[in-house]
Amino acid sequence: MWDLAGGVAVVTGAGSGIGRELARQLAAEKMSLALAEVNEATLKETVGLIGSASAPISAHLVNVADPKQVEQFAAEVLAKHQRVTLLINNAGVAMHGTFQELSNADMEWLMGINFWGMIYGVRNFLPALKQQPKSRIVNLSSIFGIISPAGQTAYCASKFAVRGFTEALMHELERTSVGVTCVHPGGINTPISRNSRLGESASAAVRDVSVALFEKRLARTTPATAAARIVAGVKREEPRILIGKDAIQLERMQRLFPVRYWQIMMRNLKKAAAHGGFQTAAQKSAR
């Protein structure tokens, strides 16, 4: 079991959701924190919610899609904290729309944050992480890095990319002091769905229906629960973390039905809608 106390954690996307809860829980583990967020107001809220911590906390306004800003962020963190033992690339965004409703600019915006933001984080902090006797990189993918729903071409592309990169990096760093973890949250009750951007020609009405369905039926796990699972997994040095029963069940269904899982999911959703209820296709197939 890895004792996190006394270490230095870098958390991106710390202004809300899982990132905010990770900051709070890692502070409780007596880690120093370097928190990054693009929104100054929410970043200040996170720092305020942590209150008086036993270890230093630094707050940094960073757009992770900007390589120069991430490079400067890393320099600031090392100047302030001298070292880094845990890097959590959590910052992420969502977008609604089918591929034909998205422009290239839409895709580039999302990939810039979800994928390239992670790359820039690893690129700039890996040298410092390798200097420690033990350290870890944690990259946030998604259950949509395992399954691919229609209407999520951009998001799935980014999260599959995060997963592929992270697993390859894990193998490359296997004999070093740097461990690597890939996280796959299922439905988490965070603002990411409500704040999802519309594709260039996507329907706002369809997006609103999708968001309502997600928040009512799928977003069953709280950010605090998700963060606790990540912290526990980091302490146990787990290479892969699935968050939520839905993620576990959907991952199992994808392994059992790698081609047919989408048809099974849609059939189950239609039946659930007809009866006014909801049950994941994975739950049904596991009976």
- Do the beta carbons of residue 182 and residue 118 sit within 8 Å? no
Average pLDDT over residues 58-71: 98
CATH superfamily of this structure's domain 8-256 = NAD(P)-binding Rossmann-like Domain (3.40.50.720)
- The single-letter DSSP state of residue 83 is -
Asked if the model's pLDDT at residue 283 lies above 90, the reply is no
Range with lowest mean pLDDT among 8-12, 32-36, 133-137, 145-149? 145-149
Average pLDDT over residues 23-52: 96
How far is it, in rounded angstroms, from Cα 49 to Cα 85? 23
Helix (H) or strand (E) holding 61: strand 57-61
Tokens of 232: 């526990």
For residue range 143-196, list pLDDT tens digits in order.
999 999 888 999 999 999 999 999 999 999 999 999 999 999 998 876 555 566
Range with lowest mean pLDDT among 25-39, 98-112, 115-129, 258-272? 258-272
Report the pLDDT value the prediction gives residue 196, as an integer from 0 to 100.
62
Name residues whose C-beta falls within 8 Å of residue 259's C-beta, 6 or more positions apart in sequence: none
Query: Is 155 a residue of the active site?
Result: yes
What are the CA-CA distances from residue 3 to residues 84, 162, 180, 247 (Å)? 14, 27, 16, 27
Report the pLDDT value the prediction gives residue 2, as an integer from 0 to 100.
97
Report the pLDDT value the prediction gives residue 191, as an integer from 0 to 100.
58
Answer positive or negative: Cα dihedral of 1, 142, 74, 239.
positive
The catalytic residue among 73, 115, 155, 160 is: 155
Which residue carries 């799928």 as its tokens? 218
